Amino acid sequence: MLRTVRLRLLVRGISEVDVKTQRVADIYTGWFVALVGVFVLISSTWISEAGIHRLSPRTFPHVVGFLLVACGIGLALKSWSLRTEGPTIAWPDGVGVRTITITLICVAGYIALMDLLGLPLATFAYLAIATWYLNRSRWLMALMIGLITGAVSYYLFIRVLGLSFPAGVLFE
Amino acid sequence: MGFSFSYLMQGFATALSVQNLFWALVGCFIGTLVGVLPGIGPVSGIAILLPLTTVLPPTSAIIMMAAIYYGAMYGGSTTAIVVNIPGEASSVPTAIDGYEMAKQGRAGPALAISAISSFVAGTLSVIALTLFAPMLAEFAVVFGPPEYFALMFMGLSLVISLSGRALLKGVISMALGLAAALIGQDPLTGAARLTFGTVTLNAGVDFISVIVGLFAISEVMINVEQQITAISEMKISNWMPTWADIKQCGWTMIRCTGVGFFLGLLPGCAPSVTTFVAYDLEKRLSKHPERFGKGAIEGVAAPEGANNATSTAGFVPLFSFGLPTAPSMAVMLGGLMMYGLQPGPMLFAQNPQFVWAVIASMYIGNVMLLILNLPLVGMWAKIVNIPFYVLGPMIVFCAVIGTYSIRFQAFDVWVMLLFGVIGYLMRKLGFPVAPMVLASVLAQMLETSLGQALLISQGSPLIFFTRPISAVFMALAFLSIGRGIWAQVRVKAPEVVIEDPD
């Protein structure tokens, strides 16, 4: 059973915002999207108008920015005017937040190490650590999965298919 | 340049030779593998193998390459259904219902109906290719930039039905997809847009990174959060669809063949567009549209059939005009030219044995793929029962391989990770992800055709309403938008997406 958690956001003097319900979450998401739209609109004014063309390179970014502002404000106002709170959003609990964060750190580490260590070693390290983290009683299995997948990735993608993955210091 | 029964029979005689049958089988097998494996799509699969085929006679080589191409279309749905990784944009609609079926313990029937629908659509399309190739190719050249823009605009209007009751969220999702696609160089002027002076962003955001992030990475995050032990813990007892399932998809397969084949004749109208159109059509025609997004078997049959029909249709302009309608067709064109064959009107006249042998081999290849794929359904379907602590990291591995191999840059993988987090938040907050995918796929074609059309009309937008074909597409698009806005005004409830993310 999932529990909801309170997200603390600082928005215009309101120190705590509870985005447990769909209605409240939609109000804040709407304003955030409108801000993204404003950002796109401002950024699109920096695009250079090179050459003579019927369709300016700024046109599409302007349309997209305007759509985001209009729909963001529309979503916020529509949700604000509703009387029902809507369904509760199932945010992760403390354990869920920690598991997601560590999983994402593992993936980020995998990507960062790919160019440095090469595909086989980075794959071995990622799979061994991520599999072990999700089931700590199976460390030997995690190690084997990492080893086998690392070796297969080297032979299949680098040696057989000849794709331009970084082989790493051990294999170059 | 017309249909000739005797030439077709001669083609069958050539295609049924032991040597050509063997290479067709090899092509089907490699194609299925290419479809299932992350990192190599049909384009790179054919391109990698192209130099290796020089040892073969031209007919055998092209038969094998064509088999790799449509074999990859068969195999591409597997990862979309069992682990929610649509390796190509065309597999996104398949993932929507296919993965839901897998979670319900029905991965086997989903994979089997995907193979059957691919077979039916593939075979019907080859019949159409045989009978109508010259006539249909002539229709395709009537399409100019205004018609393309109108078609793409109609494609974007599908956002309305993909959004369910959450229209505003659907449009926001679409606009965010367009914004991501705008990053990089303007397709017409080459001006840098939303790059903030960085060289890396100049190359733009590839939509495969967006798709894999939104689907695969966000799915892993959701499953990790919920600490699930396997994607489906249900024991899979039925590998094959029931007769009721097949009957339910009967007309779907016919309709999606029509949609996929006719739209597939148009240059640039890739399976990524036709699969969405076919999915949307089935949803609209269904008596129970609410089942779509929750494991409707027609939601798997429609895009898979359309995918194969579009792939086959691509051979019509290729053979008749030497016009490649997709990147994979461009590689195929290179293969033909490597053997000294010049596709175009004279190909049918000068090399009839070759053309009809390749067409005949497609009938045989479709049967081979069905025989090859159905027994493997059990093996692929079992993937959903693998413990998640093994499967989760393996999904990430496949996703990383797939996105890194787009341009062999870590940047694409970072983009995938970012869109994974965005996809997770969108699912939590009830935003539909399909409109974002559709927009990121269509954005460049939409803008290019708009620019070219305005150039033709000297800036007048009336061109889209004065040409009959584009006027029909525009009218359909505005009808769809009007209907969506009307439904939105009537309903006073929180914006809730129909396809339940969890």
Q: What is the pLDDT of residues B444-489, one digit of tens each?
A: 888 888 888 888 888 888 999 999 888 988 998 888 888 777 777 7
A151: number of Cβ within 10 Å: 13
Inter-residue contact B163 to B464 (CB < 8 Å): no
Inter-residue contact B410 to B152 (CB < 8 Å): no
Q: What is the pLDDT of residues B119-129, one digit of tens each?
A: 999 999 999 88
B271: number of Cβ within 10 Å: 29
Residue A9 pLDDT level (bands cut at 50, 70, 90): very low
Tell me whether residue B375 is exposed, middle or buried, using C-beta atoms within 10 angstroms of its C-beta: 0 to 12, 13 to 18, 19 or more.
exposed
pLDDT value of residue B141? 63
Cα atoms found within 13 Å of the Cα of residue B266, Cβ hemisphere only: 21
Q: How far is B226 from chain A (nearest CA, A)?
A: 7
| pLDDT for residue A38 is more than 90 | yes
Inter-residue contact B122 to B312 (CB < 8 Å): yes
pLDDT value of residue B136? 61
What is the number of residues in chain B?
A: 502
Average pLDDT for residues A147-158, to the nearest whole number? Answer: 91
Q: What is the DSSP code string of B49-106?
A: HTGGGGGS-HHHHHHHHHHHHHHHHHHHHHHHHHHS--SSGGGHHHHHHHHHHHHTT-
Of B36-40, B108-112, B227-231, B340-344, the one with minimum mean pLDDT is B36-40
Q: What is the pLDDT of residues B259-318, one digit of tens each?
A: 999 888 776 667 878 898 899 889 888 888 888 888 899 999 999 999 989 888 888 877
B-facing residues of A in 95-134 (CB < 8 A) are 95-96, 99-100, 103-104, 106-108, 110-112, 114-115, 123, 126-127, 130-131, 134
The interface predicted TM-score (ipTM) is: 0.88
For residue B409, give the 3-state DSSP assignment.
Answer: coil
The whole-chain average pLDDT of chain B stands at 82
Average pLDDT for residues B322-332, to the nearest whole number? Answer: 71
CB-closest option in B186, B225, B492 to A92: B225
Helices B92-103 and B434-456, interaxial angle, to 10°? 170
Q: What is the pLDDT of residues B171-204, one digit of tens each?
A: 999 999 999 999 988 877 778 888 888 888 888 8
Q: What is the pLDDT of residues B225-236, one digit of tens each?
A: 888 877 766 666
Q: What is the pLDDT of residues B41-71, one digit of tens each?
A: 676 667 667 666 767 888 888 888 888 887 8
Inter-residue contact B239 to B287 (CB < 8 Å): no
Q: What is the pLDDT of residues B379-414, one digit of tens each?
A: 777 777 788 899 889 989 988 988 888 788 899 999
The whole-chain average pLDDT of chain A stands at 84
Residue A7 pLDDT level (bands cut at 50, 70, 90): very low
Please tell me the distance from the alpha carbon of residue B461 to that of residue B444, in angstroms, as a whole number. Answer: 19
pLDDT value of residue B298? 92
Separation of first and last alpha carbons in chain A: 50
Which residue in chain B is spatially nearest to A52 when comparing CA positions?
A: B189
Q: What is the pLDDT of residues B368-381, one digit of tens each?
A: 888 888 887 777 77
CA-wise closest residue to A100 among B389, B220, B433, B429? B220
Separation of first and last alpha carbons in chain B: 54
Of A42-46, B215-219, B342-346, B358-362, the one with minimum mean pLDDT is B342-346
Please tell me the distance from the alpha carbon of residue A22 to that of residue A86, in angstroms, as a whole number. Answer: 5
Q: How far is B92 from chain A (nearest CA, A)?
A: 23
Domain boundaries, chain A: 1-91, 94-160
Q: Do B175 and A29 touch (CB under 8 A)?
A: no
What tokens does B278 get? 């076919």
Q: Scanning the structure block, which residue is given the tokens 């097998």?
A: B29
Q: How far is B464 from chain A (nearest CA, A)?
A: 15
Task: For residue B185, give Cα distances in angstroms to A86, B188, B191, B192, B198.
Answer: 42, 9, 5, 5, 12
CA-wise closest residue to B38 among A167, A165, A134? A165
C-alpha angle B285-B238-B271 in degrees, rounded to nearest 5: 40
Please tell me the distance from the alpha carbon of residue B349 to that of residue B347, in angstroms, as a whole number. Answer: 5
